[in-house]
Amino acid sequence: MGDREYENSDLEIDQKLVTEGSLQLAGEIQVLEAWLRELDASDEENEDILAVRKSYNDMLRSRREMLSTLEKQAR
């Protein structure tokens, strides 16, 4: 196998990892958004709910940033 073949193989692997990572992050984003909708629909509002909402929002923001970074690298 020549250097060119190794480069193509590495690019294919990298693209596959980016695609898989993007799909994983998109799925996690959907789950977090659903959990936040459930919290928003709840009439209950206490310290625990506020802490959970903040945690979910932080995780959601983080996943969106990671997904954006992955999409930029894929270009």
The tens digit of pLDDT for each residue in 37-68 reads: 999 998 888 999 999 999 999 999 999 999 99
Cα dihedral: 35, 40, 65, 24 (round 10): 20
Token duo for residue 59 = 């995780």
For the chain, what is the mean pLDDT? 87
* DSSP-H helix ranges across 1-75: 3-41, 47-74
Of residues 29 and 12, which shows the higher confidence score?
29
Is it the case that residue 2 has pLDDT exceeding 60?
A: no
Crossing angle of helices 3-41 and 47-74, in 10° steps, is 150
DSSP label at residue 1: -
Each domain of the chain, given as residue ranges in start order, spans 3-74
The pTM (predicted TM-score) of the whole model is 0.79
